[in-house]
Amino acid sequence: MTRHGPLPSWAFRECILRQPDKPAPLRSSFMNTQEAKIVLETALICAQEPLKVSALRRLFDDALSGDTIRGLIEELREAWRFRGVELVSLAGGWRFQSTAAMRPYLERITPEKPPRYSRAVMETLAIIAYRQPVTRGDIEEIRGVTVNSLIIRQLEERGWIETIGHREVPGRPALLATTRRFLEDLGLTSLDALPPLDPLGEAADALVEGMALAAGAPADVLPDPLAEGGAAEQGGALADPIDRHAALDVPPDTTHAVAQDADGPTAADAAPGGDTERIDH
């Protein structure tokens, strides 16, 4: 169970199972404001994922406009303002979640800890978040070390990054970008809300802290050593800090040196003038 976030799946089932056998249907065409807010509130509390305004409109057979729904949501936000649960807007829509002030109390009954990630993982995630779309070769050039394929796989399995296309150069390396799940777990509505990128290590720390706050766990419990290819990072040592401009100003079509690891070559992936093919979702 996530300590600082939406209701778990068992709570969703309870919301459904505890309904009366034959509930009296609410006809949206005759529904008053208070009844509409009750419907919205129930849907948002029971939903397992954030809900967009378009989805909330379907609760009323689209009889209520988007502006009306947004107005009702604002009234709900105000009604819950001084409680232990708040209604927040995320990249995927609206959801109820526990407030940060409740985190110490919830930790007493939810002893499980969130996954732990190494500095190498978080620095890789920071590069993808701030420089996307990037290839693995781009990441290696910015970090100055070989990127272990397990790091990319770990971020993909966590649902934070995905392949959105391929760079049209020899080898057609995958272009990586962050997902909506990444923004939701970080508690953000868009990439524009990311903390300012200064040195790369500080950006990684900011992501660690943000993920920890969203998960309801202290930030210092997240980093965990993970061996990564390249002597510069054996034993958890970090590469030299990367300046903000150095991290952002690497041209997307810069030629990369060929890097070898257990998966074979990763870079011939940024030849000059290489075209990009994107995958439409």
Q: 85 and 119 in contact (C-beta within 8 Å)?
A: no
pLDDT of residue 274: 52
The domains located in the chain, with CATH, are: 9-106 (1.10.10.10), 119-278 (1.10.10.10)
> Distance between CA 199 and CA 240 in Å, rounded?
10
Task: Give the chain's residues under pLDDT 70.
Answer: 1-30, 112-114, 197-281
Q: Please provide the DSSP assignment of 88-136 as one string.
A: EEETTEEEEEE-GGGHHHHTTT---------HHHHHHHHHHHHH-SB-H
pLDDT of residue 270: 42
Cα–Cα–Cα angle for 254, 260, 262, nearest 5°? 135
Residues 107-143 have pLDDT tens digits of 888 776 667 778 888 889 989 999 999 999 999 998 8
Instruction: Please say whether the dihedral angle defined by the alpha carbons of residues 206, 211, 214 and 215, taken in this order, is positive or negative.
Output: negative
> 92: closest CA among 119, 56, 59, 139?
56
Angle between helices 119-131 and 136-143 (to 10 degrees): 110
Residues 219-257 have pLDDT tens digits of 433 344 443 444 334 333 333 333 333 333 333 333 333
- CA 21 vs CA 16, 18, 24, 38, 125: distances in Å: 10, 9, 10, 19, 48
pLDDT of residue 197: 67
pLDDT of residue 114: 65
Whether the model pTM is above 0.85? no
> 37: closest CA among 79, 9, 7?
79
